[in-house]
Structure 1
Amino acid sequence: MVRILEHAQLPAIARGFSLLGSGGGGTTTILELALADTSAWPITLYDLADLDPALPCLGAAFVGSTMLLGERLPGEAPFAPLIDAAERWFGERIPVVCSLEGGGLNGLTSLLFASKHRVVDADLTGRAVPDLDQMSLLVDHVPGIFATCDTGVGGVLLVQTDRPIDLERVIRSAVIQAGGAGGAVFAGFTVGDLAEHAIHGSIARALHLGTAFEAAADAPLSELAEVLGGRVLGQGRIMAIDLDANDPHVSAVLVDGEAGEIHRIITRSESLAFITDGLLQASTPTIIVVLDAISRDILQVTDLTIARNITIIGLPGPDWWSGSAERIRHVVPSAYGLAELDGGI
């Protein structure tokens, strides 16, 4: 079913994608500002069934440090050179666009292209993830996928490989050379490929979540979790943040629970697991949302600081990841080197 998105719905969509970020994916403010021009709205959003499955499609995302995007704002058309290079390599215009990532700021990225492309409501993650080799098309080994990315000062790199990890490492190196943040575009797939090898309806889900969150923002925590389709995991005050001895990017956020229990939130670039009194309560692909207990602001991992009062909600992760053992192994904690935390779905 074709859906018409109005500019007035943008804050709700953005808030929904903040929830789907699971503490990562970057704040949506920059993309909200980029989409502030009301003349670009309304935006037509297509379901996969609305489009010819043979139509070529591309996916776009910002890669690297989302914090740097706030310090060095993207140009007026940051993806234009990347799309031009992809279309030259592909040999024809690519008329359909989806988002690469279905959480955080990149959930909004496909809407930037609505004036020149048909926006399809599908993406390759359904939540925020840190690495490009976790994109669903690569997890399912769809052939012919290639990518373009920034290298800095107008440079463009094109990568085509049968090993997803090569694509991740090469593009990550190029983005570092470009200053730590830049754009990336995936191509070489069709709308039909997305039907089986992508997550469907993330923009619609974000709109639903954001609208429900705004309506119940002042409600009791249990009611808020219910309207979001999730469950309360815990609440309390952050007492300490311990770095993992083996991986300095992994932290354990210790929370003194309201009933005397001890919670731990295990984080990397996203919240990966939630533990109470030593028992695993939730872990990826479950989406672990941390809110400020007073303001109900949706918090990034970087916002978790000592003495902050927080509440934690678990939202169901996309069903796509649970479709096979091969798929789910790319998003459970063992994919991040934390095998002991698998199984908390």
Structure 2
Amino acid sequence: MVRTLEQAQLTELARGFSLLGSGGGGSTDLLELMIADAPLWPIDLYAPDDLDPDTPCLAAAYVGSTYLLTERIPDLDPFVSLIAAAERWTGVRAEAVCSLEAAGMNGLTPLLLAADRRIVDADFMGRALPRVDQVSLFADRVPGTVTVCSSGADGIVLVATDRAADVEHVVRSAVVQAGGVGPLVIAGFTVGELREHAILGNHSRALELGAAFEAAATAPLSELAVRLGGRMLGTGRVTGVEASPTDPHASTIEISDDRGEIFRIIGRSEFLAFMRNGVVEAATPEIIVTIDSISRDVLLVDGVTFSRHVAVIALPAPAWWMSTPERLRHVAPAAFGLDGLVPAA
């Protein structure tokens, strides 16, 4: 069924995507400013079943360090040249667009294209994930895809392969060349293929999460966890943030509560695991959310700082990744080089 998004729902939608980011995905602030007053509203949100399955589709996102976008404001139409290159390659116009990851700022990114393309309620991650090779299309080795990204100075890189590692390596190199962040488009698939190879309904889920979050603005944190459909992992004060001696991108956040229990969150660009007194209680692809206990801000990984009082909530993992062992291996802790972080039964 087609759902209509109203401009007044943007804040709730963005809040929901922040929750689905699991501490990553980038702040939604910039995209909210870009979209809020754009002549796009209201926006129709289509389920894949609402459209002809043969409708060509594309996914749009920003990749790299989204923090750099606060220093180098993107163009108003950052995807135009990339889409043109993808459509020249495929030979068809993509009439629909979905999210690469329906989390953080990239949950909102497809709305930039709402003026001339239909927005499909589907994405390829179901939460924030750091690597292009973790796209569900590539996990299922869907043939015929083409990935296009910026290499800076109006340069474009196009990768036509379903080998996920190749796409990740080439895109990562191009993003570095472009200055650390840039737009990316994946095309060469249809709306019908989303039904099997994508995570469905996360825009709707984000809207529901955002509404529940706002409704529980003054409720106890334990009630907030319940309203979000999650479980409370713990609350306390951050007593330490330690960088990994073996992985420059990983850190361990230590939290102490008033009962003497010790919690640890393992994070990279997203929160990946939560431990209580050395026992793993939650791990990716579960969505681990950390909230400032006082301000109720949804925190990115680098926002969990010394002495901050926080609450940690686990939201259910996207069912798509849990459906087969082959899919799960792409997003389990071992996929990030973190062995042994399997939640206790």
Q: TM-score, normalised by structure 2?
A: 0.98
**RMSD (Å) for aligned C-alpha atoms:** 1.0
Deviation per residue, 1:250-292 (Å, 9 max, x gap)? 1110111221100000000000000010111100011000001
Which digits, 9 at most, give the CA deviation of each residue in 1:136-183, with x for residues without a partner? Answer: 000001011111000111111100123111101101110110111100
| Amino acid aligned to 2:62 | F
Instruction: Give matches, 1:221-300, under 5 Å.
Output: 221-300=221-300
Give the aligned partner of residue 327 of structure 1: 327
SS in 2 for 1:18: helix
Unmatched runs of 5 consecutive residues or more in structure 2: none
Amino acid of the structure 1 residue aligned with 2:195: A
8 Å contact kept, 2:152–2:179: yes
The letter for the 2-side match of 1:51 is L
Shift of 1:315: 0.4
- Alpha-carbon deviation of 1:344? 5.9
SS in structure 2 opposite 1:88? helix
- Aligned equivalent of 2:198: 198
Aligned pairs (5 A) from 1:141-180: 141-180=141-180
What is the deviation of 1:84?
Answer: 0.4
**Counterpart residue type for residue 301 of structure 2:** V
Identity within the alignment, %: 57
With the length of structure 1 as denominator, give the TM-score of the two structures.
Answer: 0.98
The match for 1:95 is: 95
CA–CA distance in 2 between the matches of 1:96 and 1:125? 18
**Structure 1: stretches of 5+ with no match in the other structure:** none
Q: Is the CA contact (8 Å cut-off) linking 1:14 and 1:108 kept in structure 2?
A: yes
Structure 1 CA distance, aligned partners of 2:95 and 2:124?
18
Q: How far 1:39 moved relative to its partner? A: 2.5
Please give the alpha-carbon distance, in whole angstroms, between the structure 1 residues aligned to 2:64 and 2:98.
19
Q: Deviations over 1:221-254 (max 9, x none)?
A: 1110011000100011111111222112111101
- The Cα offsets for residues 300-320 of structure 1, whole Å up to 9 and x where unpaired, read as 001011111111001001100
Q: Distance in 2 between matches of 1:311 and 1:27?
A: 19
- The Cα offsets for residues 189-208 of structure 1, whole Å up to 9 and x where unpaired, read as 00111000000011100000
1:304, 1:213 → 2: CA distance? 19
Partner of 2:37: 37
Aligned residues: 345
